Structure 1
Amino acid sequence: MALAGWICLAGHLCWMTLQCRSVSGKVLEETYTKWLKYKDDCLRQIQQDPQPAVGLYCNRSFDLYACWPDALPGTTVNISCPSYLPWVQTVQHGVARRRCGVDGQWVQYSEGELWRDISECEEDQETHTEELWMKQVMLSFRVLYTVGYILSLLSLLAALIILLSIRKLHCMRNHIHANLFLSLILRAVAVLLKDSLLDQHWSKPINTHADVQHILSHRAAIGCRTAQALMQYFVLANHYWFFGEAIYLHSILITSVFLDNSKCLPYFLLGWGTPLMFVIPWVVMKLLRENKECWAINENMYYWWIIRVPILFVSLVNFLIFMKILKVILSKLRADNKQRYPDYKLRLAKATLTLIPLFGVHEMVFIFATDEQTSGIVRLIKVFVAVFLNSFQGFLVAVLYCYSNKEVKAELQKCLRGWWRWMQTCWEDQ
């Protein structure tokens, strides 16, 4: 019975972790800190309050849930709901109860556990129902993006192998494509790894407050913090390889004003080097100023903007390049239409749909609407659009720039025919 109160509270908080691990981690840490203060105040009060007159009475105690005063035999003690409860504002007028038996002992259940009525201190049922619904929605979103990232990962791996294994496909354009594929692959791996480590971190059983101390310790969070930092790096690398694709196409179609189009090193430094300029300061600030849980909470948005600003900047630049290239394509298709191509609108639509994933233009959707600035149904729509586009993006890129690419298909067919002839020759020799 000694741990029943704490286990009850910890169980509820662990249930909340299924809904949103980052938020629940913050709730768990704040609740535990308040619980420690509540316990210390209670133990201090137990020591300082004068002892009652000689006679039967139930002893004052702290049962890890609430602080109980001395009680006369045959009476019921009412105390306010513990102040550390996350939902204390909704139960501030509620009370917890205990009965003192006529023998001067706290009343027990038949199983030997102390009787206690905390029904007025439990979370409101309506709020509980809303949390349950939100949990189901978030779990559905997680299933959606997990499927999307796994599908993207498998399709991108196969596409990368094709680009690297066929020598005739080795050119500047495909080298940039290959690095974009790799950044998408590593992003998918980092997201799946982060989720796995977060599950492992927050799914540890909580039976005592020592278990909570371990979960909230820096040592226990090293794995998920590392995964969080890697994910931020690969997300940034992904965006800057989109930028590299935009620069390359701009240089080919319009004019070379950004990078030397004949060398890979500048693109390599842009795609893999630039993210380090932002991720390293973000990691340093997290370590020094916001070193909590798995670094999933953004209490100080100034630190979050270290990561967000370069993403917003490169997304806007990509969008401007996208519009400029689309204008060039439109003028060219109109000129072709006057000569011999009546389907220029269809070709324009196809070119537009092809360029959108290549430039990462989908990032313009809700680009300035952060999670902290949205709520309710708007936030759910934003989360759905973001997880769907980001998780299935790799699959779409692999299909458009590898599997449906005429050059790639032609070279792949040649290789397959060559392998088939070689196999036939080997079979005939046997």
Structure 2
Amino acid sequence: MNSSESENPLDVRDVPPWTIKSTNSCLRYHRNSRVNSETFCPATFDNIMCWPPAEGGETLKQPCPPFKGIDPSKFAFKSCSEDGRWSGKTEDDFSRPQGFTNYSNCFLPVMKDLLEKLGTPEERKLKFTIAEGTRTMELIGWSISLLSLLLSLFIFFHFKKLQNHRTRIHRNLFFAMLIQVVVRLTVYADQAIVRRPDTSPNKPGIDNTPVLCEAFYTMIEYGRTCMFMWMFIEGLYLNNLVSVPFFQGPVSYKIYYLLGWGLPLLMTALWAGVTAVYHQTQCWWGYSFTPYYWVLEGPRFTVIAVNILFLLNILRILIKKLRGPQAQESPRETAKVKKSVRAALVLLPLLGITNSFNMMTSPVHRSPLEFGLWSYSTTFLRSCQGLFVCCIYCFFNDEVKRTLRHFWKRRMAARRGCRRRSNRSTSLFDNPSLLDAARRQSSVAARLRTSLDSQITIAPLGRRRQPSAAGIPAGAATAGSSSPNGTCL
């Protein structure tokens, strides 16, 4: 087939051939196509594109499909043998009725390198199956993280007792994670809808809409960069609590907001501009493999390194306190310090260190087993990181648990009080004798009040008579005028 490519191939451009999705559709579309030879290859579908019938000895070319990793300005080739059969990879290979399509010119250099690393066709198939499994795990992990982040933000905003300096930093970290989670789930949901087999191939979606697709991936990278910066602020704040602070005086949230939201905005804008100019592929496919991606990855690696230094310093100070005289004299203080050490160790994955695994090059050249272990472990850590952060900073936090327990106890006590008041009211009005007694008492109280008002009005202003409490029956003055202290809902 390589020799036939040098001949003048037949150019077929009537309709985008990748929009036809089955062999029957391809045959129906080309049912009226005619060739000028008795020996010809019939129309066929190679699972990617539809090919029209070709005369024996001819080579067809069609534009490459506009998929990710593909250069649509190049062409794919397919050859028909002299005896009217679609040619395979070699001249004497006719094992497949649809033959072999040469897409080697279609792939971008990054995709070519990736396919070479995937190994044999059997290994490629297995690794693609692993990739599909990790996508399912990713969807589940991001969904759980989304619910955890929303619940944590509700708790921190609903209870004013939890609104302090530390939780204020937590909330910003949760918001940064929420941006990334929401945008990722939106992209994945759109891909699931657009790529369904029963969906029209021309249906617009995020991936095939210029500018919109790039904007979504820019938002993902912005949210991820903000997450790294707020993790850095978490480490900085914790380090300042146990050691000499870098910034003396009260906490300046203007600096924190500039570091957490402003600096990532500048970094992401710079990266997006460079990528748009120098990496002009559909939806910036493969942008993470380009050297321009280090505009974002470089600062992220720096944040991870600084957070490791913060963590080591925190551990050093806490261990020093454990060995001090206070630890020997006060067992309670010792237990408290040990708990702080364990919390600091738990912070290891929360300060961005687990993200370093995702920055490493995927071991696609390794065996399917090694590739699967790496893919599933990194996907689990990345997609469930929102859940991990919420568990440590919110769900497992002692202050949060005390606040929720106190709220629940008050709620239960209020419901029990409402039931008791409701039972008393029901027993009063269900008993006719008690109801009549209450009515008579209210009537007597009303007549006494009228009599007293008339006496006070007639009396001289200087010698206004005061009513005698002795003449008022017990409970008459207050009958019918009291109101409950609370309202039961």
Mapped contact 2:222–2:264 kept (Cα < 8 A) = yes
Q: Find the residue that maps to 2:246 and give its secondary structure.
A: coil
Structure 1 window deviating more from structure 2 (286-295 vs 230-239): it is 286-295
**Counterpart in 2 of 1:356?**
348
* Code of the aligned partner of 1:363: N
Partner of 1:33: 73
Identity %: 23
What is the one-letter code of the residue matched to 1:338?
A: Q
In structure 1, the partner of 2:267 is 278
1:421 paired with 2:421, answer no
Q: Supply the AA of the counterpart residue of 1:370.
A: T
2:159 aligned with 1:153, yes or no?
Answer: no
1:165 aligns with 158
* Distance change (3 Å), C-alpha of 1:258 and 1:141: farther
2:216 to 227, 240, 250: 227
Secondary structure in 1 matching 2:46: helix
Amino acid at match of 2:48: A
Cα deviation for residue 140 of structure 1 reads 1.6
Q: For residues 350 and 205 of structure 2, what CA distance do their matches in structure 1 show?
A: 41
Offset at 1:427? 4.3
Match of 2:122 in 1: 129
Separation (CA, whole Å) in 1 of partners of 2:126 and 2:48: 21
Shift in CA distance, 175/285, structure 1 to aligned 2, threshold 3 Å: same
2:74 aligned partner, one-letter code: K
For 2:195 and 2:275, how far apart are their aligned partners in 1? 20
Q: Distance in 2 between matches of 1:410 and 1:344?
A: 17
Distance in 1 (CA, whole Å) between partners of 2:275 and 2:310 is 34
Question: Does structure 2 retain, via aligned residues, the 8 Å contact 1:145–1:388?
Answer: yes
Query: Residues 162-197 of structure 1: CA distance to partner in whole angstroms, max 9, x if unpaired?
Result: 111111111111100111122222222122122223
Q: TM-score, normalised by structure 2?
A: 0.61
Which of 374, 397, 408 is the equivalent residue of 2:400?
Answer: 408
Q: Is contact 1:96–1:118 with CA below 8 Å preserved after alignment?
A: no
CA distance in 2, matches of 1:332, 1:80: 77
* Aligned with 1:10 (options 37, 48, 51): 48
Q: CA deviation at 1:236?
A: 0.7
Q: Does residue 401 of structure 2 align to residue 394 of structure 1?
A: no
Deviations 1:219-253 (A, max 9, x none): 62444332211111111111111011011111221
Counterpart amino acid of 2:145? S
Structure 1 window deviating more from structure 2 (239-248 vs 279-288): it is 279-288
Q: Is the contact made by 1:228 and 1:296 (CA closer than 8 Å) also made in structure 2?
A: no
Counterpart residue number, 1:19: none
Q: How many residues align?
A: 348
**Please, which of 204, 223, 228 is the counterpart of residue 239 of structure 1?**
228
Alpha-carbon distance between aligned partners in 2 of 1:407 and 1:216, rounded to the nearest angstrom:
45
- Aligned-pair CA distance for 1:215: 7.8
Q: Is 1:76 matched up with 2:76?
A: no
Give deviations 1:347-396, integer Å, cap 9, x for gaps: 466223332244223234475x333x763245544433321111112112
For residues 170 and 79 of structure 2, the distance between their equivalents in structure 1, rounded to whole angstroms, comes to: 61
1:370 and 2:361 matched: yes
Do structure 1's residue 339 and structure 2's residue 329 form an aligned pair? yes
Backbone CA RMSD of aligned residues: 3.7
CA distance in 1, matches of 2:162, 2:206: 50
**Distance of 1:77 and 1:364 partners within structure 2:** 55
Q: Greater helix share, 1 or 2?
A: 1
Letter in 1 for 2:219: L
Is 1:291 matched with 2:280? Answer: yes
Deviation at 1:161, TM superposition (A): 0.7
The one-letter code of the counterpart of 1:339 is E
SS of 1:33's partner is coil
Q: Distance in 2 between matches of 1:396 and 1:420?
A: 30
CA contact (8 A) 1:96 1:117 kept: no
Amino acid at match of 1:140: G
The residue identity in structure 2 corresponding to 1:10 is I
The one-letter amino acid paired with 1:334 is R
Give unpaired runs (5+ residues) of structure 1: 13-23, 39-64, 69-74, 82-90, 98-115
Question: In the aligned structure 1, how far is the partner of 2:248 from the partner of 2:215?
Answer: 33
Contact 1:224–1:294 (Cα < 8 Å) also in 2: yes
Q: Closer, same or farther in 2 for the Cα pair 1:129/1:5, shift >3 Å?
A: farther
Residues 47-69 of structure 1 deviation map (CA, whole Å, 9 limit, x = unaligned): xxxxxxxxxxxxxxxxxx5478x
In structure 1, what is the equivalent of residue 177 of structure 2? 184
User: Could you tell me which amino acid in structure 2 is paired with residue 33 of structure 1?
Assistant: S
Q: 1:164 to 1:216 in 2, by over 3 A?
A: closer
- AA aligned to 2:269 is I
Rg: which structure is higher? Answer: 2
Q: Are the aligned partners of 2:233 and 2:260 in contact in 1 as well (CA < 8 Å)? A: yes
Structure 1: distance between partners of 2:311 and 2:184: 28
- Local SS of the residue matching 1:256: coil
Distance 1:381 1:310, change over 3 A: farther
Deviation at 1:280, TM superposition (A): 0.8
**Which residue type is aligned with residue 293 of structure 1?**
Q
Deviation at 1:204?
7.3
Query: For 1:324 and 1:384, how far apart are their aligned partners in 2?
Result: 32
What SS does structure 2 have at the residue aligned with 1:360? coil
Contact 2:149–2:178 (CA<8 Å) still a contact in 1?
yes
Contact 1:10 / 1:206 at 8 angstroms: preserved in 2? no
